[in-house]
Structure 1
Amino acid sequence: MSPRRLVLLAGCALLTRPLAAAPSEDGAEEALAADPDYAAASAALKAQDFARALPLLEAALKRFPDSAQLHNDLGYSHRKLGQLPPAFAHYKRALALDPRHRGAHEYIGEAYLMVGDVASAEQHLEALRAICVLGCEELQELQAAIAAHRRRAAARP
C-alpha cells in the first residue's frame, strides 16, 4: 500500500471516530440534586418558603461552592426576601461560573428592575437573546417583566 493511501485511510479513520465528549458537569449536578439540604431547599422554593430555603441552600453551598445553579437559587431566595445586595452577589457569581445560565440572566434582570436599572436588565435580556436563539422561557419572562416595568413607569404621574 502506498504511503499516500495510508495517510488517506488514517484520515478517514479519524473522521469516522466519535469525537471525545466535552467535559460534563452532570456528575456535579447529580450530586447537588442528591444533597439532602439542596433537596429540602428545592422543596421549600417550590412552596415559596424562601426563609426556610435560605439556610438550607447556604448549608449546601459549603459542599458545592462552585455550583452556578446553587448560587442562582441563593440569589432568587434573597431577592424574594427583599435582600437585594446578596441576591446580586449570588447572581453575579452564578454568571461568573456559567455565563450562559439562563435562569441567572433572567433573575438578575428582574432584580435590576426592582432597583429601577432598566438598562442593566436589558443587557441581560440581550444576553438571553444570544443564548436562546430559538427563544426560551427565561427570555420571554424577562421581556414581559421589562414591558410591565415600563407600563408601570409610564402610568405614574
Structure 2
Amino acid sequence: MAFPSFSDEKSVVARLLATLPQTGRVEWIGVRPARRQPLLSVPEVEALTDAHLTGDHARPKPGGRRQVTLIQHEHLASVAGFLGLPEPVEPGRLRRNLSISGLNLLALKNRRVRIGEQVVLEITGECHPCSRMEEELGPGGYNAMRGHGGLTARILQGGQIRVGDAVQVLQEK
C-alpha cells in the first residue's frame, strides 16, 4: 500500500481551502462620521476603490490593508452569550463596517470577494479586538470578542454596497 506523499497532502489541503461554494449576505452596514463616534447604520454605502467607505471618517493610505472591516454576523450571538446577554450584540457596537452572514469569514483570509454587482474586496487579515470593547460591552468585552473580531479588507473595485447584497467568493487565478 502506497502512502500519500507530503506534496500530495499539500494539494489536498489546497483543494479543501479553495472549496467555498457558499454565497453570503450583507446583513448590516455602518460608518463612523468622526473618531470615537458611534457607527451609523445605513442601508447602502459607496465603496471607493483603494480608499474607504463614503461617510466613514477613516482615511487609510492607498494600498492600506484596513480600508473596510467585516464581522461574522453569526458571531453576534456568540459574543452576547459570552457576556451573558439575552440577545445578539448590535453590530454597530463592535465597530466594524459590514456584518456578513452565510460565509465563514476566517476561511476568506487572503481571498477576494464580490459584494453585489461591482464591489471587490481583498480580505487582508484579522481585525483583533481592542480595549474599546471593554468600554462598549462592559467587563469581559475584550475577551468575549477574542476570535470573533472579524476581518480587514482592501477595496480593489469600488461601487455600491447595499444591505441584502450577495457576497460571493471569487475563484483564485
Give TM-score, length-normalised by structure 2. Answer: 0.27
Which protein is richer in strand relative to its size? 2
Q: Which has the higher contact order (CA 8 A, sep 6+)?
A: 2
Structure with bigger gyration radius: 1
TM-score, L = length of structure 1 = 0.28
